[in-house]
Structure 1
Amino acid sequence: MTEIRTTAEAHEASALPRARVVHCNDDAPETPEVLPLPPELAREPIEEKSEAQWAYERLVLYIQNFEEQLNADEEVAMGLVGAEAGVLQIEGIGYFAPDIVTFYGINEIGARTQLIQHVSQLNVMLIAQPKAEESEPPRRIGFHLAKSFEMQEGA
């Protein structure tokens, strides 16, 4: 039997992510695969987003979720997967449509670092590491990234 949907229902369904996750621990926190998309991200259908934009938006969700689970003395960093380049403490993320995602930050010795990645090669490992200065509050890049979505919505 064919399901009949209104145009609005079809449009809404196209914006819903197709995702799934299974955890070994029943007490595991909810992760982006099972959480609803923020309204700022759901308003534009996935099919209208470039690969880079959609990859960037999902990375923001993963980073924000990861940061919610950190202790006050930890910050998010990124292990550079598949390279001997080490760890990048994330200070910024961007994308250049249709297919480039960029990470900005500093490495473990304090050198300014930038990773430019094609979406077809995207591998990101998030790492909790001690924050740099004991006296400073932890920096939460996920919070700043989510604010940029809110600003886009108001524009």
Structure 2
Amino acid sequence: MDGKISTSAEAHEDDALPRRHEVHADPQARAVTDVPAEVTAKPVKQKSPAEWAYERLILYIQNFEQQLDNEHEVAMGFAGGDAGVLRIEGMGYFDPDIVTFYGSDENGTKTQLIQHVSQLGVILRALPKQPAQEAPSRIGFRLAQDLNKS
């Protein structure tokens, strides 16, 4: 016990499960509202800001990839400057507050973005898959498998 006295409303709020809600103009758009058990198994207040951001980014990447055809894969654009896009090939976090993305840019140059969670702003984009690949790379599936292990 931490010695803090909470009202019943605060206690209820602390015990609330994470929620997800989306509405789209297109009635056919995939609006995801479920939060997988792997994400809710550990209470949010026991997660670092980096871990919590990482888990939610995985859900958004997975949802984005499910909307892509076999000719495209997920990448992220950078806000501001001429940094371009990063084809997402890996993702991780460093407690308590850093999220990192690994990948390559449009020219195939190895790229890594290290971002503090307070500055996190990700634009998911669809890029044509690499010409040498038969099938597009789906990082969201591998990230979710790793989430299931932890």
Q: Place the TM-score, normalised by the shorter chain, in its bin.
A: 0.7 to 0.9
Equivalent in the alignment of 1:30: 31
Match of 2:68 among 67, 70, 88: 70
Equivalent in the alignment of 1:15: 17
Q: State the 1:143 CA deviation.
A: 0.2
- Which range moved further: 98-107 or 80-89? 80-89
Q: State the 1:83 CA deviation.
A: 2.9
Aligned residues: 142
Amino acid at match of 2:62: Q
Equivalent in the alignment of 2:98: 100
Equivalent in the alignment of 2:3: none
Question: In the TM superposition, what are the counterparts of 1:78-97 in structure 2 within 5 Å?
Answer: 78-97=76-95
Question: In the TM superposition, what are the counterparts of 1:115-130 in structure 2 within 5 Å?
Answer: 115-130=113-128
CA deviations over 1:3-58 (Å, ceiling 9, x no partner): x8xx9xx59952323x4333212221123xx2x21111110011111111111101
Equivalent in the alignment of 1:148: 146
Provide the alpha-carbon RMSD of the alignment: 2.1
Contact 1:77 1:127 in 2 (8 A): yes
In structure 2, runs of 5+ residues without a counterpart are 1-7
> How many angstroms apart in 2 are the aligned matches of 1:70 and 1:22?
19
Q: State the 1:140 CA deviation.
A: 0.3
Q: Which runs of 4+ in 1 moved over 6 A?
A: none
DSSP-derived class of the 1:15 partner? coil
In structure 1, runs of 5+ residues without a counterpart are none
